[in-house]
Amino acid sequence: MKPIKNAIVTPFVIMITVFPLITLLLFNLSVNYYLDRNARTELHGVVKTMEGVVKKELPDIRNTAAANLAAPFANLYRALRSSQLAANTEMLFYSRNLELFSPLRDAYISGSFINNQLMKRLSEKLPSMEDNQVYTIRIGKDKYFVLSYPVTNAGSPAVVFVSHADKEIALVRFINLILIIIMLIGVLLAVWLAHHLSIRITRPVGELCRLTRDIGSGDFSAPLQTSNNDILELHMLKQSIGEMSAKLEAYDKSQKAFLQNASHELKTPLMSIQGYAEGVINGVLPDVKHASQIIHSESKRLGKLVEELLTLSRIESQTYSKELTQVDLGNILKEYVQRLGGLAAKHQRELLLVLPNKPVYVLADDTLLSQAVINIVSNCLRYAKSTVSITLLEDGNSAVIRLADDGDGIPEADLPHIFERFYKGKGGNFGLGLAIAKSAVEFMGGSIRADNGQTGALFEITLRSSAGQPVSAV
């Protein structure tokens, strides 16, 4: 695996290096093509100039015998020179046997780019050259364009025009040098920018790695440093990790509190059972039947606590998997009221059920819904003075189960914590009933809230209405 710095710098360097190199190659190909074409055009232009000079100065040269061409060639050379021939272009006058005319040989070489090596290559190439065709000759780094033009009707002798591309080559080399310098500067600049950009990324990423390691080891107190210069996405990631850390810390604390409270709640009945059992075994309790009743009662209480803990654990750990089915909420509430009739009679309270005139269908799990409703109603029966009401309402696309009692209501200090695990108000049991109700309702995609009504405590369970097919909740 590559570090972030290399992953950022390497593409930058490759991009800044490869693209200019490709540009340089395409530029050289384009310029060479243009220069070749321009040189050929210039040579053909020189030929037209020569034809004009010949017609004006030497109209009879085409009919002159080859043996008598030395003097006319000298006149033609001077005439062409005076006519401002194209730059970097020279003329060579060759006889029928392809030799330079001796009276002009020294003049060609002196003060010209024409040299013996070029003249030798020309002598070798002339026999195969066609008239008025441009050819290229390379000697080392030098490049020449040549064209043979017959000056007599017989086809030879001829004038050979030679163009030297030294200025064009020098220009290309100079531009190439500039491009290479620009490329090197671009590479250095890219490396510098990539280095600083990688630092801006790797530093906060390193801090986040350190922070996540601390969180993984259970240390939630590590400071999260933010800056206005941070990259937006990294700043958002820092905030998300900070929020995650806070939630994990709260969850960790709640789990520790859960274990402590569970241990305490389990210890109380266990100690009672152990004490009475030892008393029976040692014969120190005269009323064995009473002791047995207490052991039985505490065992039932312990079993109920364990069952509630398991239910809450399965729901919150997402291991509880049931199919949410379409149910008639009115009929199912009637069934719950029948189940709670004995408990209401025990507390000498009255249960009232108020239903709408038409059926209300919701997606729900019967087991979870029954636990939520029965736990809340049991809580209301404990604090009601005479009556607990269960009212089913429709609110748009939702169904609302309103549970209310006529007791003294929920103390304001208890309201924010009423659904917390092991939070017990005055006269509470284990502090798990309402926590299970909340988890069960939220597992079914609903919501629950607690408040104080006009006459006592008020709970509302909201579930989404449905007339469709059953769906699976995992």
Distance between CA atoms of residues 269 and 292, nearest Å? 13
Q: Helix, strand, or coil here: 459?
A: strand
Q: Helix, strand, or coil here: 297?
A: helix
Name the stretches of the chain with pLDDT < 50.
102-105, 107-109, 468-474
CB atoms within 10 A of CB 139: 12
What integer best gives the mean pLDDT of the chain?
A: 77
Q: Which pLDDT score, from 0 to 100, does residue 265 have?
A: 61
Superfamily of domain 321-473: Histidine kinase-like ATPase, C-terminal domain (3.30.565.10)
Structural domain boundaries in the chain = 4-173, 232-315, 321-473
Q: Which pLDDT score, from 0 to 100, does residue 399 have?
A: 92
Q: Which pLDDT score, from 0 to 100, does residue 400 have?
A: 92
Q: Which pLDDT score, from 0 to 100, does residue 445 have?
A: 87
- Distance of alpha carbon 161 from the chain centroid: 65
Question: Of 397, 316, 364, which Cα lies nearest the Cα of 471?
Answer: 364
CATH class, 232-315 region: mainly alpha
C-alpha radius of gyration, the chain, whole number: 52
Q: Which pLDDT score, from 0 to 100, does residue 219 have?
A: 75
- Determine the CATH number of domain 4-173: 3.30.450
Is 232-315 the same fold as 4-173? no
